[in-house]
Amino acid sequence: MCGITGWISFDRDLTTEQDTLAAMTRTMECRGPDSCGTHVEPRALLGHRRLAVIDLVGGQQPMSVTEEAGTVSLVFSGEIYNFKELRAELTARGERFRTASDTEVVLRGYLRWGDQVCERLNGMFAFAVWDGRTSRLVLVRDRIGVKPLFLARTPDGVVFGSEQKAVLANPAVRRVVDTAGLREWLAFVMTPGHAIWRGIEQVEPGTVVTVDSRGVRERTYWRLEARPHTDSLDDTVSGVREILQDTVTRQLVADVPQCVLLSGGLDSSALTALSAAALGDRPVRTFSVDFVGRSDTFRPDDLRSTPDAPYVRAVTEHVRTDHADIVLDSAALADPAVRRAALIARDVPVGFGEMDFSLYLLFQAIRERSTVALSGEVADELFAGYRQFHDPEIVDAPEFGWIAVNAGPLDKDGTGLRADLLKRLDLDGYRRDSYASAAASVPRLGGDSDAEHRMRVMSHLHLTRFVRFLLERKDRLSMAVGLEVRVPFGDHRLIEYVYNAPWAMKSHDGREKSLLRAAVRTLLPEAVLDRPKAAYPSTQDPSYAIALQRQASRLLGDPGHGVFALVDQLWLADVVRRDAAGVDKLTRLGLERTLDLAIWIDEYRPTLDVDAD
């Protein structure tokens, strides 16, 4: 896992811009704490920060091969899980390897197959190839969007990076956020390709971008398609188990310590049990997060009917893992330094508040003992784990399911923002238009009933929009501390298979995650199998809200702060005077957003062009 960046210009000599390349690369030091490398040519600058996971000595980057027609150089982020098979195939075709790294497999695969190498890769990846033979740049992102990749077009080329901060470090890219960016941030519709900063776009998952002197072109090499599913229920359950075991086994390959993130829910418990089966006599290392006193003071809410701890214990005892609980207190969560670190990791104030901070602190603690972690992202979107999949009114509603359910750390009303700004943004209208366009683009399989197609739309939008937000969150917060997180449920083979299973199979036992539960039934305790879906834990300590009020009160002492171009100053003044009991969920979300915005404005110094569409 690493960070990549670069600058391509066809009208200037970039060898004079090495200080800029160094600045761009330096922004991603946390993503790659082990080493740094650059490649410099007149038309191309490439930068790389490395987190060494496979072939610790030989996998240095940028990695280059020089041929008679020119030099081909690669910067790569991610992991290729089938690199051993591809290496064997390439060796049989005459390629000769200098290292044992998966990076060299990608490079030599490109030399053999061109940009079609991406279609042979099983993994999470974002990479850039500067092909000096043809003076062109090739950018590739994995099918699901596990690894991020951003791009800004310039008059004579492009600037790119794993994170927006790397792109923003180039003086050719202006730090402007306009009305379109604010809508995308606040509406929570996650339009593919969009970023909040003007002029910066995401390379879409499953896409190859080619840049040469003629311009920028895109090719989609993978998309989520509707296909007939002909397997029986029993065969489907067996198929899910087989693919899952294979992908977990592949994703446990590393030359550094590994672990599993365990919450006691079905997803992470399944990964723990499957990891134990793959590792044999070696114990699985597991970590979980909890809060001081939570077991004694837990109160059910709209997303969590049970605490995690009893189910975590059940799994660790059943599987006999090497387990550690990471226990956090409200003081750590409310620490402004932690908020700042998490905000800088994400580049934009689009967070989950203290749920981001606890995740950051969890990763920080894990990194002291492991370098690679397996996590359960994508399972809820794939196996219909969320409440919105099972509520007929939400299924039939003409809006995104994660918005219609109106639960969790989502404030669709923009609590605390200025009324004139919200009126201009018209978030409800933007969401309606976005949903109509997105739903209309979902392929319909011939023979699907209207009800079946509605469930297909729900699944497709969660897998192509909502999950990308969660994957980016996990990537940024983990890589901020140099921890590589892998997501076995994001294997494209599993996604293609389960997505096309009919809804009757996905809900055959009358509840969420029917196929997954059936696939791992023999591996887990009954209590874990029967546990209702519970979201990532959140602190219930009232002292956290009090800390937010105190920090916001200090912000009011600077009435000229740029945050008040977006936040209603009178609203904030009222909130900080309330008793903590009067700070409800939406008010707390508004406070979180205000504090995030203040840090973001201080750190990134954006130009807010709120009058521009």
Choose, from 2, 30, 118, 259, the residue flagged as catalytic. Answer: 2
Strand partners, 157: 9, 154
- Could you tell me if 183 and 430 are in contact, meaning their C-beta atoms sit under 8 angstroms apart? yes
Closest CA to 76 of 32, 10, 24: 32
Cis peptide before 62 (omega within 30 of 0): yes
Strand partners, 39: 46
Q: What is the dihedral of CA 260, 264, 266, 267, to 10 degrees?
A: -30
Residues 6+ apart with CB under 8 A from 274: 244, 245, 248, 249, 488, 520, 523
| Alpha carbons 151 and 139: distance in angstroms, whole number | 9
| Alpha carbons 225 and 446: distance in angstroms, whole number | 12
- Residue 217, classified by CB atoms within 10 Å of its CB into exposed (0-12), middle (13-18) or buried (19+), is exposed
- Residue 287, classified by CB atoms within 10 Å of its CB into exposed (0-12), middle (13-18) or buried (19+), is buried
Q: Which residue has the tokens 């994957």?
A: 471
2 is catalytic: yes
Q: How far is CA 336 from CA 350, 570, 598, 602, in A?
A: 17, 23, 11, 13
- Could you tell me if 166 and 27 are in contact, meaning their C-beta atoms sit under 8 angstroms apart? yes
Helix (H, G, I), strand (E, B) or coil at 441: coil
| Alpha carbons 32 and 292: distance in angstroms, whole number | 32
| Alpha carbons 191 and 3: distance in angstroms, whole number | 24
Phi, psi angle pair for 414, to nearest 5°: 70, 45
- Helices 309-319 and 266-279: crossing angle, nearest 10°? 20
Closest CA to 327 of 299, 287, 355: 287
| Alpha carbons 605 and 375: distance in angstroms, whole number | 34
Closest CA to 366 of 247, 485, 538: 485
Burial 396-428 (b: 16+ CB within 10 A, else e): eeebbbbbbbeebbebbebbbbbeebbeebebe
- Helices 336-346 and 354-367: crossing angle, nearest 10°? 90
Cα-atom radius of gyration of the chain, to the nearest Å? 24
Give me the active site residues, please.
Answer: 2
